[in-house]
Amino acid sequence: MSNPTDGDRLRIPVEQLVIGMYVVELDRAWTETEFLFQGFRIRQQQEIRLLQEICQYVWVDARRSVGIRQQAQENQAANLQPVISKVSFSAEMAQAEPAYQAAREQSQRILQAIKLGQALDVAAVKEVVKGCVESILRNPSALLWLARIKNKDEYTSEHSLRVAMLSIALGRELGLLPLQLEQIGVCGMLHDVGKIKVPNEILNKPGSLTSEEMLIMQSHAAEGRKLLLSNQQVTAATVDVAYCHHERLDGRGYPRGLDGARIPYFAKIVAVVDSYDAINSDRVYNKGKSSLESLRILFDARDSHFDADIVRAFIHLIGIYPPGEIVEFSNGEVGIIIGCPPGNKLKPRVLVVLDDHKQRCKERVVDLQESPRDTSGKPYRVKEVLSCGAFGISIDEYRQRGLIVPGNL
């Protein structure tokens, strides 16, 4: 049979592969793979999963593929999809809150369904994720702000929710298409479903885990894969993320010790977000670190644990002084960051809520771009970025009172 012409060859990201596509070339040598034939039609989800493990993209022969034209049209439609209009933070918050609440309730229903041995309602998960994607495309700051509101008693469900929100926003930062953002949002929502199989006494143990307990904890990746494989509505990418989000580039992750070339791209994205939220959140055995310290830990682990480009994109997304972060000034006053001016993310606007004795005071805004000075005549400088909930400060309390409306976002 003649070779495909350039017009017949389509470069396809592995996340978009479907059964029926005829793969003619990989982004690596065939001899480096387990495939026996140099060119084949995809007939099983397992083949898609294997391609996603070893490749970033492949070339497909449209003439020899089944259903490729429809897939190509869907991808083209996604590319041609009009950009969703950008709106202000305050305008988007009105739509983001119900989207966030729906996703929060869905994340709780996911865990409840698994506990009761019921089937996952994947269509419902996709529906709430779609609403979150639309919100993030209009203005990501609203949902990211809501994602900072944490309840440590609901860590497992809220962690999955935050991972979904942040993965969507990070995917946007990395240039993923809207349909791909919906995919990775579902991946984030379901990445930790296997933890429902881990006993609570291990999951919530306040001290260090024994070697045996650690193995049980790590089994959640394989358990998640098993749970998701049993549902025909779940995509291969979602299964892969549940199975691979603890793999690391240097091959020292689990459960299979994959190296960077074999870790699916979506799993690399979720790995960064999952680690960030775990470091940044209070747990029964550890107090969460500040956003700045959490980002520093990720940055130090770039190339060894995490994809460096993804880490850099995530740092750019979150920023050094993200809205909602609590900071202490050099004079001892404490406040909540409510925004940064365009082009100067090192000069945040801060709502001061505690005086230098750490007592509540009349709220006022200090804008570091204006080089303000305190009552003693000294310039305001950020001394430290504090962890979430420092000094008992609840950002949600101030948001509900209408005192926090991030600007320039």
* 142 pLDDT more than 80: yes
CA distance 271 to 300: 15
HSE at residue 25, side-chain half, CA atoms within 13 A, is 12
- Segment 323-349 shows an average pLDDT of 86
Q: How many CB atoms lie within 10 A of CB 399?
A: 19
Among 44-48, 144-148, 275-279, 393-397, the range scoring the smallest mean pLDDT is: 44-48
> Can you read off the two tokens belonging to residue 84?
């969703």
Residue 79, pLDDT score: 46
> Could you tell me which residues come within 8 angstroms of residue 280 by beta carbon, excluding any fewer than 6 positions away?
288, 289, 290, 291, 294, 387, 388
pLDDT in tens, 306-333: 999 999 999 988 988 888 889 999 999 9
- CA 333 to each of CA 40, 86, 360: distance values in angstroms, whole numbers, following the listed order: 65, 35, 10
Using an 8 Å Cβ cutoff, are 380 and 366 in contact? yes
- Segment 400-409 shows an average pLDDT of 59
Residue 177, pLDDT score: 85
pTM value is 0.76
Indicate the pLDDT class of residue 409, thresholds 50, 70 and 90. very low
Mean pLDDT for all residues in the chain? 85
Q: What amino acid occupies position 53?
A: E
